[in-house]
Structure 1
Amino acid sequence: MRLEHYIEELLYRYNCVIVPEFGAFLTQTKSAFLKEETHTFYPPTKQVSFNAQLVSNDGLLVSYMAEAEKTTYEEMLKRISALSKDWRNQLEKGERLIFTNIGKLWLNKEGKISFEPALKVNYLTTSFGLSSCVSAQITREVLKEQVVSLEEEIPFMITPEQREKKQMRPYLKYAAVVFLGLALGFTGFRFYTENKATNLVVQKEAQKQVAREIEQATFFDVSPLELPVLKLNASSTAKIQEEIATQYHIVAGAFKVKENADKKISQLQTKGFNAKYIGVNKFGFHVVSFDSFTDVDKALSYLRNIKNSESKDAWLYQE
């Protein structure tokens, strides 16, 4: 008869299991906790202890074992009493009682029973299946205040910095200023190039219209004084300029799956934003914007409003 086996079964259901004439095994719920030095997480558990003062029979263990062993209550009480005396004799001889899933019992120098619980079994049923686990420390990327301020001024994306614990070195400030000057110079050169391209397109369109008018006047024998005055359509010219103008997109997010990008566009359009799909970037993500502008000042102003009201993670992308 393995008495400790029945004690284990009862510890799952009750907080106190008394072994008549020997002592009581008690359980107390212990909350989950984390050991920071080892990064180990422990789930909630029942911590087992032993009290040698509680020896009066409460009937729980005897009734449970009598039913399991198919015997009478009185017979089972005799068996447990005999086993309890045997356990006490072993302890008095200096031996240790080892219950694999409960703990160890022995007599200390003062002649009192000491108990060391076993940690292999968790008797808390709500934590069934949970075990301790170790998690590596998480290192997070933090953008420095200097980079954040530059992002609000420069109309292009700034990639996240590398992780480092040291503060930003002084020479990086000067490098940022030089970088800002180069960026502004590049933007001005591009603006000049695009305006030049626009003028060339308009001039070619004008030359084509002049050639058509002269050809028509020659065919119908119209005098030079009767040639019509050439007028370019302002709307067509504006359309040509708009097609080749630089686009500034206020990015709302980038998604690996196209369906998620479409869902984001629908959500933003429901809120009243002029959201649209920009395309796939070089990393293979589908980019969605709150709105797009051809004027960099309007784009930066809109970006600040979006950061304050809708999303702090929004950023400006120059196409």
Structure 2
Amino acid sequence: MTLANYISNLLYRYECVIVPDFGGFVTNKISAKVNHFTHTFYAPSKQLTFNSHLQNNDGLLANYVATSQKISYQKAIEFIHEEVSKWNRSLITEELELENIGSIHLNNEQKLIFEPTNTMNYLTSSFGLSSYVSPAVKRIAYKEKVTQLETVAPIFPLEENNRKAPAFIKYAAAAAIIFALGTVGWKEYQKIEYNNLVAKAEQQQQKVEKTIQEATFVISNPLPTITLNVAKETHNYHIIAGAFREPENAEKKLQQLLQKGFNAKILGVNKWNLTQVAYQSFNSRNEAINTLNSIKKTDSQDAWLLVKEY
């Protein structure tokens, strides 16, 4: 699996995936929209952008690569570094194509220019929804026809007597009623068809949405590329060794714990912009608490339990 595949998998679950020493791919949710020229409706989606200033390693991509390939964190870092080196060499002479993400090239000022792919929607709540074309209602054309009819056969107010209306007027009135009913019926038909499409997509979504949204990057059975029906473990309980302002200090702490034999990992940056380092992560709360008590006795009284439910 290429580095682009790992990035693509993570973009379903995270708003930002940073490639160390290269840049970050950022997603922003955008609402459903309509193209008034083509009369096309588009489902809500995630807009994908690239920020070349986001280069510090937050541990997300490296941990996911390490878990997927069943290698050490350091080996994962080396793998990412080799891939980035290939990308940079390729950009010197040609455009870089990243599968399911987009293309990147250098402009005249040697700055990276990113063009996202238009075939992927990383918003899981829109899974199964595609664009929908609705024919435009030609109100102006119909209005012109009615105006022409009024010119040819104007309708005058009837005198207050029992004279019958001309047959032409009756037919014109009936045609107007049928036209109005037809327009309303067409709109209702469009609405029913669209609701059916949404209902079918929601049924498909319910089968995969919870698996995608609740999964973290610590997965025992990693996802194949865009294969959403694979069961994944979720580690919600993390024994925290420390949180660091500088990523370099977090990396040092990680190496110390690995040398001591712990299955340590970097969890990423929390809302206070601190990089968290964990002794180990668990599926079972009881197992996590028992291990925490043991660590407090043997290694550090400052260790504590973090519960993250996705």
Normalised by the size of structure 1, how large is the TM-score? 0.47
Report 1 or 2 for greater relative contact order, CA contacts < 8 Å, sequence distance ≥ 6.
2
Q: Tell me which structure has the larger Cα radius of gyration.
A: 1
Normalised by the size of structure 2, how large is the TM-score? 0.48
